[in-house]
Each structure stands twice: as C-alpha cells, then as structure tokens.
Amino acid sequence: AEMRFWDLVQDQNTKEFYEAYLDQYPKGTFSPLAKLLIQKFSNAGKVNLSTEIEESSTTYKALIIANEEYDFWENLKTPIQDQARISTILENRYGVEIIEHTDLHRTDFLAITYDFFESAQSNDNLIFYYAGHGERIDDTGFWLPVNAEKNRDFDWINIQKVQRYAKSSKAKSILFLIDSCFSGSINRGLTVIDQQSNN
C-alpha cells in the first residue's frame, strides 16, 4: 500500500502530495526523501534536480544496496523490487547518478560503502539506501550481509562503521534511506548529514 501511495505522489510531484505521504506514512521508507523534497519546494518552487545539476557543479549520487537472499536468515520478498523502484525514481525523475548492488557479502558491502563515501567530492550530495535484515545487540545496531551467520555478530555490518565512513566523507550532504530493523542507530534518527556544518 505504501509503494502504491508513493507512486501516486511521484506522479503528482507537488509539495502537497509529499506532505500527504508524510501524513499517511510519517515513518515510511521514503519519509526522509519526502521531507527533503518538501524543503526544496519551499526554497525554490517546483523541484527539478536535473535542471539544478545542469546549471551548477553540484552532483547527486546514490548508492542503493538491497539484500534479499540470505544463507542463514529468512529470505526477504521486496528489497530488490523496492530497489528497482527507488532507482528509477531517482535516476529518471531527478537525474541522480545511481550505483546499485544486491545480495552483498560483508567484505563487498564494506568496500563498496567505503569507496562511495571516500570518493565523494565537496560538491556531491549523496544518498545511501539500504534494504535488508538488521539486528541490535545492546545499543549497537547491525545490518546483515547475505552470508551473515546467526549469533556471530563479528561478521555483521556495524552501523557505526558506516556512520564513520559518512562523517569522514567530503560530500556536501548525505541522506540515509533505510528499510531495516534497528536502523535508528544511524545518527540516532538524523537522516541528513550536512557535512559543511561539521567542518
């Protein structure tokens, strides 16, 4: 139901429809993106990221990771489908440069994530999207690579490690879109990191 509602919102592409989405799904998968787009409407009228990219040196890049087929955990049904939808929205409607990966093992997950944040320049705006299993031990949140074994957290993805990669990035801003349990550990609910304010 949420995806159908979001597709309707995207077809309309107005501030009012994004606000309607947030009213219906305040903690939905796309709520951080909806908030960002509402802000852009408020600041500059109708959103057209493609035009902004052409008129300035600012670039928009997204790393989209979907883990669905697990070796030791229950397989998930929608991450790759959702990945395809959000990739299409960001690339075709807003001109965002997309990097997509599915069903990653731990080493590949960390290497790809590190490279994404490390290679960013100061004029880049980044979007990091992850859909897949998540777990928490005490106050530490984890994302699970597809080869993660149960009760072997040393081989999981510590969310704080990804947070550290993001904070060391030169990117102008970073938006996290996460569809996973226990992902509140990423900046304790802060979904947009303004890197310039941290310098």
Q: What are the tens digits of pLDDT across the range 68-127?
A: 999 999 999 999 999 998 898 888 888 899 999 999 999 999 999 999 999 999 999 999
What's the CA dihedral at 78, 86, 14, 175 to 10 degrees?
110
Q: What is the pLDDT of residue 2?
A: 66
Please tell me the pTM assigned to this model: 0.72
SS3 at position 180: coil
What's the CA dihedral at 145, 149, 151, 154 to 10 degrees?
-50
DSSP label at residue 199: -
23: amino acid identity, one letter: D
